[in-house]
């Protein structure tokens, strides 16, 4: 019993140290949020096999990752602009190029020679174009170049006042939705996904601007808060406590945050069951587009609360730290598992949503255990900052 208690204490202390002083100033609940995001990315891309999750996932899955990227930007080590660009080339573009080339090789093998020299040549051209969304054979890789563009543009605006950053992002979002000839986010066409970057940068901005306040609420001094809620007038050492009015204020903020999260829970459940009571506003030209943005943001905040609750689950945190590799491997692993099963005369057949959920968990586990360790070693010399 004592050993278990000690283990739990060490886990809690480790998480707190990671949250405060860990490598890259990581936040455990952000890693869990990324795990939730990549799980639903994989699940949503299963289309009808995902059942009722299919339409629900597409309400928020891509915005969630740009939101988390914006949150993480506030935690990164400060670099000069040239150093920042080099860092992003190493951590985004080099892995992207690696996965793009591997995807061509894998797809050529899986296609059983139906993917010929002309298709390979076209795919190489598409890589040079930045793997434009919905065009390149490995569908998830557009995210890499889109994120790179957003990171660089946002870094150029980093020293601006927050109002002007938000204004630019809102204008870019509206321009992408109304002024571009293509229909975003459904039909992007610009090289290096610049048009998609214009659309999704507002979610990145939301994470960047909201995260400091969110983190203060989620990473507060829970011991002091518990003493205030219990009405205790003594500290842990038995001495009289000092005035707790600042702590009471923190508790009030966290209670308000809990109420907001509860509202997000209700709205998310309604969206899942197709009962969005704000859908009538979507018919309004500009308001409808902004409501769509807010809908995704509300669902993201719901999953952020879920991630905070699950922040001590080390398996979720570990997978969340590897989402870049999981994103790059999605097409590869989804082709590899059925091909491997066919060797033994088996066929992957998903007849229910539960089977699909279990299958996605298996894909993530296999990728995490078998593919990613070797890929990390291969890319380590290029991606280390």
- At 19, list the tokens: 């949250």
Q: What pLDDT does residue 281 have?
A: 66
Considering only CA atoms, which of 206, 214, 313, 317 is closest in space to residue 258? 214
Considering only CA atoms, which of 225, 152, 232 is closest in space to residue 192? 152
pLDDT tens digits for the chain (385 residues)?
445 544 444 444 444 444 443 444 689 999 999 999 999 999 999 999 999 999 999 999 999 999 999 999 998 878 999 999 999 999 999 999 999 999 998 888 876 656 788 889 999 999 999 999 989 989 899 999 999 999 999 999 988 999 999 999 999 999 998 888 766 666 788 999 999 999 999 999 999 999 999 998 888 644 443 443 344 444 444 455 454 456 676 778 878 989 999 999 999 999 998 877 666 666 676 777 888 899 999 999 999 999 999 999 999 999 999 999 999 999 999 988 998 898 899 899 999 999 999 999 999 999 999 999 999 999 987 766 5
Q: What pLDDT does residue 114 have?
A: 67
Strand partners, 240: 234
Q: What pLDDT does residue 218 have?
A: 87
Q: What pLDDT does residue 369 have?
A: 95
Considering only CA atoms, which of 9, 139, 21, 33 is closest in space to residue 75? 21
Considering only CA atoms, which of 158, 195, 163 is closest in space to residue 179? 195
Q: What pLDDT does residue 282 have?
A: 64
Task: For residue 384, give the DSSP letter.
Answer: -
CB-based contacts of 244, cutoff 8 Å, min separation 6: 224, 227, 228
pTM assigned to the model: 0.86
Q: What pLDDT does residue 232 have?
A: 45
Q: What pLDDT does residue 379 have?
A: 92
Cβ-contact 282, 292 below 8 angstroms: yes
Q: What pLDDT does residue 62 have?
A: 94
Considering only CA atoms, which of 96, 353, 135, 307 is closest in space to residue 88? 96
Q: What pLDDT does residue 384 have?
A: 67
As a whole number of angstroms, the distance between CA 253 and CA 358 comes to 38
- At 17, list the tokens: 């140290």
């Amino acid at each position: 019993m004592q050993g278990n208690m000690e283990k739990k204490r060490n886990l809690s202390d480790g998480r707190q140290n990671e949250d405060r002083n860990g490598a890259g100033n990581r936040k455990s609940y952000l890693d869990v949020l990324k795990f939730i995001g990549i799980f639903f990315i994989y699940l949503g891309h299963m289309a009808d096999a995902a059942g009722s999750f299919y339409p629900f996932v597409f309400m928020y899955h891509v915005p969630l990752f740009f939101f988390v990227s914006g949150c993480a930007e506030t935690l990164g080590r400060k670099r000069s602009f040239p150093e920042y660009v080099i860092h992003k080339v190493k951590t985004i573009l080099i892995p992207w190029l690696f996965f793009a080339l591997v995807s061509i090789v894998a797809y050529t093998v899986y296609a059983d020679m139906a993917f010929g020299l002309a298709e390979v040549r076209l795919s190489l051209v598409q890589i040079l174009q930045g793997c434009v969304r919905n065009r390149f054979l490995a569908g998830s890789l557009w995210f890499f170049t889109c994120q790179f563009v957003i990171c660089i543009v946002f870094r150029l605006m980093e020293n601006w006042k927050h109002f002007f950053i938000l204004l630019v992002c809102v204008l870019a979002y509206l321009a992408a939705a109304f002024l571009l000839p293509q229909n975003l986010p459904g039909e992007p066409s610009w090289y290096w996904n610049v048009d998609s970057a214009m659309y999704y940068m507002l979610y990145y901005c939301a994470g960047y601007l909201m995260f400091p306040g969110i983190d203060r609420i989620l990473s507060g001094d829970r011991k002091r808060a518990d003493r205030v809620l219990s009405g205790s007038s003594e500290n842990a050492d038995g001495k009289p406590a000092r005035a707790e009015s600042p702590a009471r204020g923190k508790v009030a903020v966290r209670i308000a945050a809990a109420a907001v999260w509860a509202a997000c829970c209700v709205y998310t459940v309604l969206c899942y069951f197709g009962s969005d009571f704000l859908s009538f506003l979507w018919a309004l030209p500009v308001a409808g587009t902004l409501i769509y943005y807010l809908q995704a943001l509300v669902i993201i905040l719901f999953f952020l609360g879920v991630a905070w609750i699950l922040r001590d689950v080390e398996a979720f945190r570990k997978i969340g730290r590897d989402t870049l590799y999981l994103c790059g491997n999605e097409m590869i692993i989804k082709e590899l598992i059925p091909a491997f099963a066919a060797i033994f005369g088996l066929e992957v057949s998903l007849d229910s949503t539960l089977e699909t959920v279990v299958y996605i968990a298996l894909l993530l586990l296999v990728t995490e255990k078998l593919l990613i360790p070797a890929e990390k070693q291969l890319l380590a010399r290029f991606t280390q900052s």
